[in-house]
Amino acid sequence: MFDKIKELTKDTIIYGVSTIIGRFLNFLLVPFYTNVFTPAEVGIYSNIYAYIAFLNIIFIYGMDAAFMKYSSVAPADKKKVAYSTAFLCVTFSSLILSIILFFLRKFFVELIEIPQHYFYLYYYLILIILIDTLAIVPYANLRLQRKSLKFTFIRLSNIFLNILLNFILVLKFKMGIEAILIANLSASLFSLVILSFDIIKNFVLKIDKEFLKPMLKFAIPYLPASLAATVVQVIDRPIVLALTNEETLGIYQANYKLGIFMMLIVQMFQFAWQPFLLTTAKEENAKEIFSKVLTLFLIATSVVWIILSLFIDDVAKIKFFGNVSLIGYKFWDGLSIVPIILLAYLFNGLYVNFQAGLYIEEKTKYFPVVTGTAALVNVVFNLLLIPSLGIMGAALATLASYLVMATTLFLFSQKVYKINYEYERILKILSLILVTCIVYYIFYYNGLLTIAIKLVLLITFFMLLFILKIIDRKFLNKIIKVF
């Protein structure tokens, strides 16, 4: 069993290298933006990227997952046909949607609330979405073939180019927030050119109904589910903007970005988890493996959560190169939301774990219900909490929605593919996190959260992991062997 978990760990680490390094390099743009742009300017580009994320889901409509599902079981002589079917389908639909966005630009610019003097940024939005969508099937194919090193190279090259162009266009050419979209578009085009070799190698001019029909049947339920999931991820931006202003949104977004460190762990795990669970499902002890994976994941993320929650605000205020800090001083008022955002991503990780049963049993019809419920919770909580709690209300709405996603998916997954998780250990971990979170904010809002108190909370947390027998010596030795 632990050999299989070791296999998952290896892929997680490889994908994690690209994800962690890539996201971290991208994260370097956060201090850059918050020390160069005003909170209002950060709010404008954040809102645009919220809609890019939403439109990306519509353009992809789950075809990447459908391609991986059916290409993985296709005969060797049919894999190119499966690849081409998915690629051509996505290409045709993306071109049609891009044309619609172009001719309805006046309506969408008003909907997105792009200021009139930034109207032209909308054209970059269309091109970025189109180019990124064309790359989705080639990227999925690299993952399916476990070409993680090539995947890593392309992703990191994209990010390096994006960052380099950001610095050049902003600092040298003084292009403002337009530089952000130009850099993104250029990097996306670069990646597509590199992936074109993979496209040519696997492409045949054919759309096969044998693959297209089941792919669409598998993928279509992903559309409402993925749209709802994206609502959970980004709807807070437009709502914060609507209920407050661009400056408040900029402060919220900059501090929300500090949750990236937990998001990294979840994302790199997810890259390896989906192929892993599909292949491991054939193992006799698959359910036992999945159970152990969840426990290991929760222990690891809880440790990351406590460390980041306690010390992220101190790190964010450290000065580099004179007066440059991790987060510009104009954005420090929002640091209080970071522990909540980190915890929200932890529950997102549990949601990813619970996907196993629905993937294996092909019950994707439940995803729209799960994510739709979470999206509704997110919108309602945002509307209720932001007027009274400001950006903390938006953060709590995010946490509530991810908690609902994890809980409802767990219930559906257990219904179709029951796994005996280590419930006692899981309950202890979650209880420890909850109590620590409450104590943290009691000290924080009373102005008593000193470094000494933080160290006491950290030591106490680690001691309780052993006192409550969440971790024992035998279990610890197994974890060490895995890594």
Encode pLDDT of 124-158 as tens digits.
Answer: 999 999 999 999 999 999 988 878 778 888 988 99
Q: Which of 171, 196, 219 is the last residue of a domain?
A: 219
Inside any domain, residue 366: yes
Inside any domain, residue 35: no
Work out the average pLDDT over 191-207: 92
Query: What pLDDT is recorded for position 100?
Result: 97
Query: What pLDDT is recorded for position 103?
Result: 97
Residue 155 sits in which domain range?
Answer: 62-219
Together in a domain, 412 and 291: yes
Query: What pLDDT is recorded for position 18?
Result: 66
Lookup: tokens for 256: 């929300």
The answer to whether 396 touches 385, Cβ cutoff 8 Å, is yes
β-bridge mates for residue 324, sequence order:
320
Q: Helix H segments across 104-208?
A: 105-112, 121-134, 136-144, 148-167, 178-202
* Interval 30-69: pLDDT, tens: 899 999 999 999 999 999 999 999 999 999 998 998 898 8
User: H or E element: which one contains 319?
Assistant: strand 319-320
Query: How far is Cα 86 from Cα 449, in angstroms, rounded to an integer?
Result: 53
Inside any domain, residue 55: no
What are the residues whose beta carbons fall under 8 Å from the beta carbon of 296, sequence distance 6 or more? Answer: 5, 479, 482
The answer to whether 90 touches 140, Cβ cutoff 8 Å, is no
In 3D, which of 272, 294, 331 has the Cα closest to residue 40? 331
Q: How confident is the model at residue 410 (pLDDT cuts 50, 70, 90)?
A: very high
* Interval 449-481: pLDDT, tens: 999 999 999 999 999 999 998 887 776 776 666
In 3D, which of 162, 170, 46, 213 has the Cα closest to residue 113? 46
Together in a domain, 300 and 189: no
Q: How confident is the model at residue 276 (pLDDT cuts 50, 70, 90)?
A: confident
Across 208-217, 383-392, 458-467, least confident range:
208-217
Together in a domain, 177 and 291: no
**What's the mean per-residue pLDDT of the chain?**
90
Together in a domain, 83 and 229: no
Together in a domain, 96 and 158: yes
Together in a domain, 387 and 446: yes
**Quick check: helix, strand or coil at residue 409?**
helix
The DSSP code for 333 is: G
Rg (CA), the chain: 22
435 has a pLDDT exceeding 60: yes
Query: What pLDDT is recorded for position 17?
Result: 67
Inside any domain, residue 56: no
Inside any domain, residue 48: no
For the chain, the distance separating the N- and C-terminal CA atoms, rounded to the nearest angstrom, is 14
Share of the chain above pLDDT 90, in %: 66
Query: How far is Cα 407 from Cα 39, in angstroms, rounded to an integer?
Result: 35
* Residue that the structure tokens 């998916």 belong to: 409
Length of the chain in residues, anyone? 483
Inside any domain, residue 39: no
Q: Global pTM?
A: 0.86
Work out the average pLDDT over 1-11: 60
Together in a domain, 269 and 391: yes
Inside any domain, residue 47: no
CA angle 106, 108, 113 (to 5 degrees): 100
278 has a pLDDT exceeding 80: no
Q: Which of 185, 219, 253 is the last residue of a domain?
A: 219
Q: Which of 167, 189, 219 is the last residue of a domain?
A: 219
Together in a domain, 295 and 351: yes
Work out the average pLDDT over 160-177: 95
At 406, the amino acid letter reads A
Inside any domain, residue 334: yes
How many domains does the structure of the chain reveal? 2
Q: How confident is the model at residue 28 (pLDDT cuts 50, 70, 90)?
A: confident
Together in a domain, 230 and 211: no
- Region for residue 219 given its phi and psi (left: phi exceeds 0; alpha: psi -120 to 50; beta: otherwise): alpha
Together in a domain, 319 and 459: yes
Together in a domain, 254 and 131: no
User: H or E element: which one contains 325?
Assistant: strand 324-325
Q: How confident is the model at residue 86 (pLDDT cuts 50, 70, 90)?
A: very high
Q: How confident is the model at residue 3 (pLDDT cuts 50, 70, 90)?
A: low
Query: How far is Cα 313 from Cα 316, in angstroms, rounded to an integer?
Result: 5
Lookup: tokens for 431: 């209880």
The DSSP code for 169 is: I
Together in a domain, 478 and 442: yes
Q: How confident is the model at residue 320 (pLDDT cuts 50, 70, 90)?
A: confident
